[in-house]
Structure 1
């Protein structure tokens, strides 16, 4: 069953899935690459500070091999010799310790990046399951780890054996020389051995880093259903989003219809578009759109406007331009000031004519730039 699930996991892991894995402490790591960098840093520090390390090592040998008769019978000799040798040993190893510590801290940034997870610190009793433990022993990852261990044993052991055989004569001759030459020979041998160890381990670590990255991506692959479920959880259920959008539109339309009775005029197209305008010269810089709609909504605006005796003015190009350029609650653009001013003047004259029984004024036909009508302009 597990194999079947892995076969279905053909999709690359999403950013959310990888982020969830990081929160659990799951990031690609290569112990071999980390070990290679630490060893290389330590060897580099030893080779670069060889003269200083030689001086400290020589001092440690001198303390152990040279002392006076008075010192021999003194009660303070052991304590003095140990404390002095300890200080020299610490000074000898400080460069190596510092270099390896920096390498150990810097290595995670090369593969997976720095990551701190609280969830990884929590106890997981599922790891104590013996059946799961036996299954892991025969997994692909266990086979790879076993192969790497055998390769490391073969290559690193073989390389160090060849080095010792090559330096066999020099090592044997060390006892015939001075203390200083023996110390120098020892440090040189340790440096060469560490350098070869770091190079071989670095090659294995580089291959392991590539494998760890590949295995990490393989283990976090997703099925198509998991991608759909995650998309639904992240972006929300499409049906629910549609319902929310519908409710929001209904509420917006309801508020718009409540504001409509305050309008001074409704510019229509005559049936496809309707835009209601309100202008208060004491409170507004320019007329403002209080309602707008197309088709069914436009028909509703016309009905409400008629019920509240708001003038309906047919000006198709202006209605299309207002609908295309202005949102609810916004002032009309400056390019439509003159056209709207003509309509408002007509409404004012119409009101006076109705009250006084005067002749009905001529309906203006303001010129509108076709570009202002956007995709709603009529074809020429």
Structure 2
């Protein structure tokens, strides 16, 4: 692959970096303090809409969509988007300003690829405009939901409607005040082939029987205002036209959704790790112990060097996966996607942990983004499939190729 970014991508990088410098970094501590204040739980920081309007005006909107969708997307490839997502990843909440935050990105891709015209008009267009938010309901508390065949939520036909019953957890985005639509994974036919039992259906949040029980926390962070909801679906009735693609197509949709979603997370993780390294490098030039500056300790220099190597290795693997997706499709790139999904969260956890250690007590506090970075990186060793699942499948493929 060509490792040089195109002039167009460099232009996007420059404009995005300038926007971050002018509008995001100066507000980072203010916005983070607002989100971490229990008094403002599940409220939107008052300046978000103004920032979004500025991002849209600057042409930094919906950058994630790999193919142009009308006037709402610049149509960048995954490879072109990677360095931009990395920049956004340096501030945890910044992706929303550019309408590039999960789970909306994955949900928009689902609607763009698999939704019919009515579904796109009703839900995709408002999402692309940033007028509403969404959530994706797959994980369940009683089963290993990384294996979609375990899903217990039922979607049963009843006349002109489907009736949904189930219990979901870690439904990211569900508590956001602007969340209006849920994409729900459930089973329409438990007796069908194991990969044809699942379906995905659109459920408006306001539908009777949708009960948001509570927000889940990640290492104590509730990630307000999006949150991660525990939700019960009790006899939720929606019209049959809300089914995505058709009964039994849920597993197929999930595979299409998770490829880009997984790699977007990895791109942002690289941004978190890179910023952590920069903070670490600044710290070692400032602090002294026992008459020596941190940077003069051999062990500290090794920590910096290892971090630089690991970040660059992960970045190159991420770019390789993105390039393969663009050229040959998500299915052909599945091994590379699995590899970066294994590598990036582990790398980020290690680098962020080193930065925390070098900062000492300050690294654990709300005065730096490191603690929240670590929480975000650690959950991604589980989200979109735990490490073990990706290693199992990748190892199986490696063994198959060698069996001759």
TM-score (ref. length: structure 2): 0.20
Greater relative contact order (CA < 8 Å, ≥ 6 in sequence): 1
Higher share in strand: 2
Q: Which has the larger radius of gyration?
A: 1
Higher share in helix: 1
